[in-house]
Structure 1
Amino acid sequence: MTSKRVCQFFTTTLAVFFCATTLHAQKLDASLAKLGEEYQQERAYLHFDKGAYTPGETIWFKAYLQAGIYPSDISKNFYVDWTDATGLVLFHTATPLLEGTAKGQYEIPATYKGQIIHVRAYTSWMMNFDTVFLYNKDIRIVQPKDAVTTAKKVDINLQFLPEGGDMIAGLKSRVAFKATDQFGKPVFVKGKITNAAGEEVVAFAAKHDGMGVVDIETKAGDKYTATYNTPDGQTKTVALPDMKATGATLSVNGIGGRRSFLVERAADAPENLKTLYVMATLQQQLIYRAKVDLTESAAIGGSIPVGNLPSGIVCITLFDANWVPVAERITFVNNHNYEFKPTIDVVGDTRKRAKSFIDIDVPDTVAANMSISVTDIGVSPDSTDNIISHLLLTSDLRGYIHNPAFYFRNESDSLQQYLDLVMLTNGWRRINWEDIANNRMPTLKYRKDSAYLSFSGKVYGATPIQIRETGSINLIMKSRDSSTNLNFLPLRPDGTFSDPNMLFFDTLKIYYQFNKNKDFASRVAVSFSNGLLPTPYKVGDLPPSYNIVVFDTSGNTRMRQLALEQARLTKLLQGTTLEGVTVTAKAKKPLDILDEKYASGMFKGDGYQFDVMNDMVAQSSFSVFQYLQGRVAGLQINNTNAGGTPSASWRGSNTTFFLDEMPVDAQQLSNIPMTDVAYIKVMRPPFFGSFGGGSGGAIAVYTRRGGDVKSEPGKGLDSKEIAGYTKFKQFYSPNYAVGDSRHDQPDVRTTLYWNPYILTDPKTHRITLEFYNSDITKKMRVVMEGMNKEGRLMHFEQTID
C-alpha cells in the first residue's frame, strides 16, 4: 500500500492538533510529508524452518517485507548474503518478491567448520538508508565436535541514558541504565550513584534484563558517578553523562491508551526555549503536534491520544522556537491490533512414519500469506524473536534487543513497563530532523526495484552508423535444463538492447549473432546484465555475534547425535552398495583426463592446469592473457604495452608461448577466441621444451578438437553466460502411503515439513496439510507465521507429544 493510505489512516486518529502558523513549520510539514511519501522505508523478517543446523543441511526460509504498516509493494527483488563469522560471503541468494514475500534456501557445505552462519537480507531500496536496519541474524551451526569452550570472565558494560537525551542542571532528570556482558547479553547490576563530593544521591538496581531507571535531582556544576560490583567481587565505577548548563527536558509516561508528557525548562533558559513544539511520528507519518508555551511557567504537560493508532514505535520530538530539536523520546504503542488469528487444528501422530494433519481456517475477508514448519522438538528452537516482535519492534531499533518476543506474550501492564525500558535504552534515528528542516532528502545510490529481473545488454566498440546498419541482435538462450528460446531484440542508437518481460532462474548460456552483419560480433564487445545487485565478496561491519551458544544445550546435543547417526547410516549404505566390488584403479581427475588427451612429450607432467571449456570466467574473457592474469603465482602478465601486444614474464625472464604445442608469438596467442580454447597449461620455469632452456616458463594453449562440444543450437556463435534468480529447490516430504525406493533408507529428518506458501482468500479460506513422521521423532514443534493484505501478522506455535 502507498504511504498516502497510511497517512490518511493516521490523520483520522488525531484528537488534538495545534496548527503552527510559522513558515518554518509549514516547510517542515512539507518535507516530512515528502519523506513519508517518496522515501518510505522497508522492514524485512525471515522465517526459518528451525533454529539450528548441521553441516550439509539445507536452510529453508520465507521472507516477509513491510513498508509502513502494510506489505511492501516497493521492491520486486530480494537478496540474502550468507556469510561466515568474518563476513566472507559463502552464497548469495536473489529471489523475486510476491506481494511482499519471497522464499528460498541455502545448502550448507558439508565441509563447513564454523559455529555460525550470518544472514544479511535486504532489498536494493533498503540499501539507500542506514544499513543498521537491514535484517541481520546469526544461525547456529552444530558441528559433530564443537570447539571446547571455557567460561569467560564477565566484562560488564554499564550505560546511563538520560530520558530525552540530556541531563539539565537544576532539573529533575530521569535516567535509564542498561548493563550487558561482552556478548551483548543482559547482566543484573546494582549499586549507587554519588555526586562530586562522594555523597550518595540514589541507589539503583536492574528491574528487567539488566535495565532500570533512576530519578536524579541535579545541581548546577555537579558531576555524578555510578559505583557497582562485578560478579567476581570487583568494585567498578562509571561516570554519568555530563549535564548541560541550561536547556529543556522531555519526559513521557510510556504505558496506557494515552501518552502523557511533561516539558520543563531551566529557570535561566534562553528565549528560544520558552516557546517549544512537540511533534510525534509513527512510520515517518505525523500523528500529533502541539505548541508548548513556557513564557510564564517553567513546566507544562500534555497528552497524546494513541488508543486508535497502529501498534509500533512512536517518536516524540521536542523542538525549540526555531524548530531545532532539543530532546527526543521513543515509546511503544501496543494496541494489540496487529494480529489476525486463523483457527489451527493439529492432529499429530508421533509414531514411526505415521501421518499427521494440520487444518487451517482463516475466516476473514482478507487474503493471507503464511508459512509453516514442523520440526523435531529436540532441535534447538529460536523463540526469542518472531514475525510480530521483529517487524513491530527490533527492525526499528539500533543494537541488540534481548528476547524481543517476550514483550508480546500477553497484555499485562508489567510487560508494557519492561518494554518502556527497552525504549529508554535503545537507539532510534529514522528521521534526521536537520535534513528535514533544510528539505534534504536521503541520497539514493540504488535504484528502486519496481520491476522483476530484467534482461539487457550493450554493444561496445561500434559507431552509431554501424549500429543502425546492423539493426538487431539475434539471441539463442539455453538454460541448464537444456530448454532453448529464441529472441530478436532491436539495437538502440547507443548500442543497448533489452527485454523487460524476460524472467529466468539459475544460469543462461546466450549465443548471439547480429542480424544484418554476421561478422559484426568479431569486431565488437557485447555485455549482458540481469539488472540485479552484484554478489558481494565480503560483508563489512557485521553486528556482534549475539546468538553464539557458548555452552552446549540439550537441543544441540540431540542435533549432534542425529547428524552423527545420519553420517553413520550414509556410510553404511555406501558400504552395502559397494559390497563385492573390487577397486582396481584410482579414478582419474578431470584435469588429468584433459592432460592425457591434449599434452604430449615434454608438455606432460607438472604444471598449472585450466579447464577452459567448463569455466564460466574463461568464456567471458577477451583473451588468454586476460584470463591468466593473477591466476598463477609468479607469472607476470602485462596487457598494457604501448603497441597493444601483451607480454608475460617469470622471474624476470620472458615466457614462451605455444599453440597446440607449436611455438607462437604473443600477438598470435592473444587473437585466439576463448570459445576456441579447450585447455591451458602453464609450465613452471625452467621448461626445457622451450628454446634456450625456458627460464621464463611456458604457456601452452590447446584448441578444441572434434567431440569436445556436442552439437547444440548456437554452436559456432559467440556466447556468454548470465546468472538469473537463485534456483528454487523443492522440499522433500516423503509420502509413505505409496511405494518408493527411497523409503528403504532410515529416516532421520529433523525438519519433517516445510511449506513457505500457504495462501488463503475469502473463497478458499480453509486448507488441510498432511505430512509423515520420521523414524526418530517422538515430539514435534509446529511453527506457523504469516501476514495478510492489511499488514496484520500471525505467529502460532504448538508442541505435539
Structure 2
Amino acid sequence: MRTIFLLLFLCCGLSAIKAQQLDDVLNRYANEFTNERCYLHYDKSSYGPGETIWFKAYVLKGILPATDSKSFYVDISDDKGKLLAHNVMPMVEGGAFGNFDIPTAYKGEYLHVKAYTKWMLNFDTAFLYNKDIKILAGRPANAKPLPAVIPAIQFFPEGGDAVNGISGKIAFKANDQWGKPVKVTGTVVNNAGAKVADITTLHDGMGWFALTPKAGEKYTAKWKDEKGKDYTTALPAAKTGGVNLAVINGAGKRTINVTANAADAEALQKVIIVGTMHQFKVFEVVKDISSGSTTAVVPTNSLITGILNVTVFNQSMQPLAERISFINNDDYTFKPEFNVDHWGLSKRARNKIDILVPDSLVANLSIAITDVNIDSDSSNNIYSHLLLTSEVKGMVYKPSYYFKENDETTAQHLDLVMLTHGWRRFNWEMVTQKQFPKINYPMDSMYLTLSGQVIGLSPAQIREAGSITMLLPNPNKAPDIINLPLQSNGTFIDSSLLLFDTVKVNYQIGAKNKFGEPLVKFMPGFLPPLAKTMVASGKYNDKFGDTTGMGHHWFWADEAASLLRQYEGALMDEVVVKAKTKTRVQEMDEKYTSGMFSGDGYQFDITNETGALGAMDIFAFLQSRVAGLQISGTGANVQMSWRGGTPQLYINEMQTDADMVASTPVSDIAYVKVFRPPFMGGFGGGSGGAIAIYTRRGDDVKREPGKGLASGTAKGYQAIKQFYSPNYDNFTPDNNKKDLRTTLFWNPQVITNGHDNKLSFTFYNNDISESFRVVIEGITRDGRMTRIEQIME
C-alpha cells in the first residue's frame, strides 16, 4: 500500500510539474509570439481598368489593435502571377491605408491582393490576407458556359479522430471546385454494405451524423449531389484507442464530454482539459475518467468573443483530442450614429453626413460611399474576418452570415464551421517540448525613417568622420540639410523623419568629405517583396454570378474607360503637336555659342553635372569623358593631346591658355563644348581640336544643392494619394468633364480622439447616381469593431 501510495504521489507530482511547465510555455507563447491578423476594407467590390483601388487595413494583435508593428505591406499581382506593386504603409492605431492604380490596358479578370506585416511572416503564411478582386475589363461578350460542377466531400471526426467502440459525431463539408457549398444526401455503410448513418446537409454544404466505429470495420459514404449524381467516399479510419471529445453549446456555458474505452480509461485515470483563446489559457480542469467518461461544464459569460480552443491532455501533458468552439458574447461591437445632414441626390448635388461616435471612444474608421446600383459583396466584413476567417484553416462560405444574428440557429450553423475547420495556433508537440517559433523576420518596431549604414570605411575612419550630412529634396522650399552622428558600425538614423516615396539623397561623410564617396546603404531593414507571388485566379473571390449590379457597374466602368482613353488620346495629340521641347544642352548651346562655335561637339551642362563640383578644375572633370582626348598633369602644367595635336583653349570664345582655364573655378562655369580635330573656328589651324569654356551669366539657373556629392536612393512608404472629390459649388475646368464616378466618397482617416467625437463630411453626386450605399467600418483602441451599411435614397 505504501508503494502504491508513493507511486500515485509521484505521478500526481510529475503531472503538476508538467502542467506548470505547460503554463510557462503558454504564457511565453501568448506574450512573445502573439499572432497578428489583418482585414482590408475596400471602397467597392469590383473595378474597371484605369480606376483606383482604395483600401484601409485594420490589424489586430490578440484582441487589441496592433501597435507594435509600424509598417504594413500590400502586394498586388496579376492573372499571370506577376508582381505589379509592393506597397508599404505606416500603421497608426492599428490601421494603414493606401491605393493601387489599375493599368488602363489591364485585360485580366482578377487582381490578387496579399497583405501582411513582417511579424506575420514568422508563422503559417497560409493565413496571410489573400483576396482576388474582380476587374471589369471590357463589356462582357456572350457568357461562356461554366464548367461542370465537381463536388467533393470531406469528413471530420469531432475531437480529431474517431475511436473504435465510442459513439462520436462525424461532421462533413461538401463543396464544389470553387469552394461553393453543395447540398448532398446519402448514407454511410459498413463492410457488409449495411447502412449505419444518414447524410443530410444542414447548412451550406455542412452537416453531421453520429457513428460508433467497430474494430475491423471500414466505412464508406454513398452520396448524391443536387443533380442526383452518385459518388462514393471513404471515411477516415477510426483509431483503436484514445478519447472522444464532444463540446456542446449552451447558454453561457460549454459542456465538455470526454469518453474512452475501458482499457484506455484505466490507463489514463485522469485527463486535463485546457481552454485557450488567442494563445492565453482561459481555463484548466482536471477530471477523473477511470469510469470511462467524464463531463466538465465551463461558464463562458466572462470570456471574450472569439474562438475557444479545447484540448484534452493525459497526465503527462500529451494532447489526446482537440476541438474549437465559437464564443459569442456580443461584446465586440460599438455603434456610431449615422445621420444625413443634407440630402442632394440630384445630378452633382451636395450631400452632407454626420458620424457620431460614443463619448470617450478613440476610434479609427473608414467610410466608402458608392452608387447603390453597382455590385456589392457583403459576404465578408470586419467582424467575420477578424473574428473567424483569419483564425481558421480552409475557406468559409459567406462568413458574415454568422454575425448578422446571435441566436440559437446561427450558433448551431457556426458550430458546423468549427467542426469542419482546423485549428492553427499551436503545434502541441512543439509546446510540450518547450520549442518556440523561429523568428526569421524581426518585427517592424520602428517606422521607415531616414536611416542607413556607411559601407567600406574602417572603424577608425568612421570615428574620424563622426557624422553624415545629407540633403533631401523639398518640393516647396530649399532642400532639407540633415546631419546625423555615425555609430561605431557606421549606422545612422533620424527616427523623427518618416520617408514617403523614393527619395534621392545626396550625402557627404565627415566635415570635409575627405573619405571620397563610400557606399551608403539606405534603409537596410526595408522588406523586399516576397519571393512567391499569387496568381489572381479568382480562388479568393466570392463569385455570385453576373448580377444586375455587376452588369450596371460593368456598363459604367466601360464607359469611364472609354472616356479615359479619349482623354489620354487628346493629351497625346497635344504632346505630338506642341511638345517638341529642346534638351537642356541644346538650350545651353543656343544661349552661349555663336558663329563657328555653334557647330557639332561634345557638350557638357556643368550646372547639371553631378561630378563637376568635386573636380579640382575643369581639366580634371574632362579627363576620360571625351574619347581620344588625353589630359595629364594639373593647373598650368596640364598636358593635352588629341590626334597628335594640342587642343586650343577658349573662355567665352576668347582664346586663352591652360593656366587661365585651370584658375577658373568650376562653380563659375556653366557650359563646356569640346570640338573634334580639326577645329576651324579659331586661329592656328586647330589641328588638335578645341575646348570652349563658358562662364555663368547672371540669369543662369543656380546649381541644384547636392550636385557633385555622392548620392543614394532611400525607399520610403507608398506616396499618399488623395481621393479626388469634386466641389461643384466652385467652377473648375475639370467640371466640364462627364462625371461617371461610382465611388462618390472615400475617407480612410476618420479618427476620433475621445473628446470631440462628431465628424461631418461633404460630397457631391455624379451625373448618373440616384441613390448611394454608405459603408463605415473601423475599430476602437480597446478592440471593439463596427460596421454600418446604409442606403441613402
TM-score (norm 2): 0.81
Change (3 A) 1:232 1:417: closer
Out of 407, 413, 424, the residue aligned to residue 408 of structure 2 is 413
Post-superposition shift, 1:270?
6.5
Does structure 1 residue 439 correspond to structure 2 residue 431?
no
1:200 equivalent among 195, 202, 218: 195
Q: Distance in 1 between matches of 2:333 and 2:165?
A: 45
Deviations 1:429-453 (A, max 9, x none): 2012221212212111111222211
Do the aligned partners of residues 767 and 585 (structure 1) sit closer, same or farther apart at CA in structure 2, a change above 3 Å counting? closer
Equivalents in 1 of 2:559, 2:711: separation in Å?
A: 47
How far did 1:782 drift?
A: 0.6
Which of residues 233, 237, 243 in structure 1 aligns to 2:238?
A: 243
Counterpart of 1:332 (choices 326, 343, 347) is: 326
- Please state if 1:776 is matched with 2:768: yes
Deviation at 1:471, TM superposition (A): 2.5
CA contact (8 A) 1:272 1:322 kept: no
Aligned to 1:435, the other structure's residue is in SS state helix
- Tell whether 2:714 aligns with 1:722: yes
**For the residues of structure 1 that align with 2:197 and 2:15, how far apart are their CA atoms?**
44
Q: Deviations over 1:660-719 (max 9, x none)?
A: 55599xxxxxxxxxxxxxxxxxxxxxxxxxxxxxxxxxxxxxxxx999998200111111
**Residues 663, 268 of structure 1: CA spacing in aligned structure 2 closer, same or farther, 3 A cutoff?**
farther
Matches within 5 A, 1:464-479: 464-479=459-474
> How far apart are residue 214 of structure 1 and its match?
0.5
Give the alignment partner of residue 499 of structure 1, picking from 467, 476, 494.
Answer: 494
Using a 3 Å threshold, how does the CA distance of structure 1 residues 575 and 315 change in structure 2: closer, same or farther?
Answer: closer
1:26 corresponds to which of 17, 20, 26: 20
Q: Superposed, which structure 2 residues align to 1:740-779 within 5 Å?
A: 740-779=732-771
2:96 to 96, 99, 102: 102
SS at match of 2:402: helix
Contact 1:511 1:714 in 2 (8 A): yes
Residue identity in the other structure for 1:161: F
Residue by residue, what CA displacement relative to the aligned partner does 1:742-765 show, whole Å, maximum 9, x if unpaired?
211111100001111222244212
Taking the aligned partners of 1:109 and 1:460, their CA distance within structure 2 comes to 39
Task: Please list, as runs of the form range in 1=range in 2, the aligned pairs for 1:126-141 lying within 5 A after superposition.
Answer: 126-141=120-135
Q: Matches of residues 672-751 of structure 1 in structure 2 within 5 Å? A: 711-751=703-743
- CA displacement 1:38-78 (0-9 Å, x = unmatched): 11111111111111111111111111111121112221111
Q: What corresponds to 2:523 in structure 1?
A: 529
Q: C-alpha offsets along residues 116-142 of structure 1, whole Å, 9 cap, x if unaligned?
A: 111111111111111122111111111
Aligned in 2, Cα 1:659/1:576: closer, same or farther, shift over 3 Å?
A: closer
**Matched residues in 2 for 1:587 and 1:398: separation?**
59
Are 1:212 and 1:421, in contact at CA under 8 Å, matched by a contact in 2? Answer: yes
1:184 to 176, 179, 183: 179
**What amino acid is aligned across from residue 792 of structure 2 in structure 1?**
I
How do residues 92-491 of structure 1 correspond to structure 2 at under 5 angstroms?
92-146=86-140, 149-231=144-226, 233-269=228-264, 271-295=266-290, 297-346=291-340, 348-479=343-474, 484-491=479-486
Q: 2:359, 2:755 within 8 Å by CA — same for their partners in 1?
A: no
Task: For structure 1, list consecutive stretches of 5 or more residues without a partner in the other structure.
Answer: 1-17, 598-612, 614-618, 620-657, 665-704
Aligned residue for 1:520, secondary structure, equals: coil
Q: 1:508 to 1:583 in 2, by over 3 A?
A: closer
Structure-2 separation of matches of 1:476 and 1:101 = 31
Flag the 1:582–1:521 CA change in 2: closer, same or farther, 3 A: closer
Once the two structures are TM-superposed, the CA of residue 244 in structure 1 deviates from its matched residue by 0.5
Aligned-partner Cα distance in 2 for 1:151–1:49 = 29
Tell me how far apart the structure 1 counterparts of residues 492 and 313 of structure 2 sit (CA, whole Å). Answer: 52
Query: What is the Cα deviation at residue 234 of structure 1?
Result: 3.4
> Match of 1:214, SS?
strand
Q: Distance in 2 between matches of 1:475 and 1:66?
A: 37
1:541, 1:573 → 2: CA distance? 32
Matched-pair contact (CA < 8 Å) for 2:346–2:770: yes
Aligned 8 A contact 2:183 2:225 in 1? no
Alignment of 1:544-563 (within 5 A): 545-547=539-541, 549=543, 551-563=545-557
Q: SS of the counterpart of 2:354?
A: strand
Tell me which residue corresponds to 2:639. Answer: none
Distance 1:548 1:798 in 2: 22
Instruction: Single out whichever of 765-774 and 142-151 deviates more from structure 2.
Output: 142-151
Checking the alignment, whether the CA contact within 8 Å between 2:500 and 2:718 is kept in structure 1 is yes
Distance 1:350-1:305 versus aligned 2 partners, 3 A rule: same
Matched residues in 2 for 1:589 and 1:246: separation? 86
Q: CA deviation at 1:498?
A: 2.5
Query: Counterpart of 1:626?
Result: none
Off by >6 Å, runs of 4+ in structure 1 = 18-21, 541-544, 574-579, 581-591, 705-710
SS at match of 1:118: strand
Residue 35 in 1 paired to residue 67 in 2?
Answer: no
Partners of 1:128 and 1:308 in 2: how far apart?
31
Q: What count of residue pairs does the alignment treat as equivalent? A: 684
How far apart, in 2, do the equivalents of 1:19 and 1:207 lie?
A: 47
Q: Which amino acid aligns with 1:726?
A: Q
Query: Which secondary structure does the structure 2 equivalent of 1:280 belong to?
Result: strand
Assess if the C-alpha contact under 8 Å between 2:449 and 2:499 holds in 1.
Answer: no
C-alpha deviation, 1:576, in angstroms: 8.1
Q: Which of 71, 75, 83 is equivalent to 1:77?
A: 71
Q: State the SS of the aligned residue for 1:398.
A: coil
> Could you list the per-position Cα deviations for residues 491-518 of structure 1 after superposition, in whole angstroms to 9, with x for gaps in the alignment?
3333322223221111211111222453
Structure 1 residue 465 displacement after superposition: 2.3
1:87 — aligned with what? Answer: 81
Query: TM-score, normalization: structure 1?
Result: 0.80
Give the direction of change, closer, same or farther, for the CA distance of 1:508–1:217 in structure 2 (3 Å limit): same
Cα–Cα, structure 1 residues 256 and 87, in superposed 2: closer, same or farther, change >3 Å?
Answer: farther
Separation in structure 2 between the aligned mates of residue 188 and residue 349 of structure 1, nearest angstrom? 46
Tell me how far apart the structure 2 counterparts of residues 272 and 537 of structure 1 sit (CA, whole Å): 50
**Segment of structure 1 superposing worse, 402-411 or 434-443:** 434-443
Amino acid at match of 1:54: G
Aligned AA (2:733): S
Instruction: Report deviation, 1:340.
Output: 0.6
CA 1:192–1:520 in 2, change beyond 3 Å: closer, same or farther? same
User: 1:588 Cα shift?
Assistant: 9.8
The answer (yes or no) to whether the contact 1:263–1:299 under 8 Å persists in 2 is yes
What value does the CA root-mean-square deviation take over the aligned residues? Answer: 3.2
